[in-house]
Amino acid sequence: MKTIRKSWPIGILTLLLSSTVFAAESENYDAAAGYQATCFACHGTGQAHAPEIGDVIEWEIRSEKGFDTLVQNTINGLNGIMPPRGLCADCTDNQLRAIVEYMLEESK
Ligand code: HEC
């Protein structure tokens, strides 16, 4: 029991440190450019019936699932038509999260 209690602060410290790193990473990341590079091919054109950026109602309905679900569906893909990671093989989870945030921001 003692060891568990002792390990707590380290766990919390790791969490704090990693969230700082993530925040810094997404601050430097240009989500708009990331979007243009891959997601635009479908989400800018409605290709494969992708929900278009700027379509307020479409994104409002999807947002009801919750932001985290949208991010998870981006990472894992959806219904066989939204490809896993949106075809951006070298995007990190956090970069994908930043792009989804950008897409929602542009669709208000
Ligand atoms: C090959 C075309 C294609 C590309 C490339 C693509 N998407 Fe999609 N995306 C889709 C389609 C189609 C859907 C709708 C899926 C459905 O609702 O069945 C979708 C849905 C989504 C959704 C909504 C998920 C939900 O739960 O409703 C998000 C968020 C999303 N895409 C993000 C992205 C991001 C971020 C990228 C770039 C990294 C990307 N997509 C690239 C086709 C694409």
Phi, psi (degrees; rounded to nearest 5) at 69: -65, -40
Above pLDDT 70, what percent of the chain? 75
In the reported structure, the alpha carbon of residue 82 is separated from the centroid of ligand 1 by a whole-number distance in angstroms of 4
- For the stretch 16-30, pLDDT in tens is 555 554 554 556 899
User: Of ligand 1's atoms, which has the minimum distance to the CA of residue 72?
Assistant: 26
For residues 54 and 107, the answer to whether their CB atoms sit within 8 Å is yes
Q: Is the CB of 48 under 6 A from ligand 1?
A: yes
Q: Is the CB of 36 under 6 A from ligand 1?
A: no
Tokens, residue 88: 């951006």
Burial class (CB within 10 angstroms; exposed 0-12, middle 13-18, buried 19+) of 9? exposed
Q: Is the CB of 98 under 6 A from ligand 1?
A: no
Closest-CA residue to 95 (of 85, 104, 108, 105):
85
Domains of the chain with CATH codes? 30-105 (1.10.760.10)
Tokens, residue 12: 């919390």
Q: Is the CB of 71 under 6 A from ligand 1?
A: no
Closest-CA residue to 88 (of 78, 77, 80, 103):
77
- For the stretch 66-100, pLDDT in tens is 999 999 999 999 999 999 999 999 999 999 999 99
Please state, rounded to an integer, the average pLDDT across all residues of the chain: 86
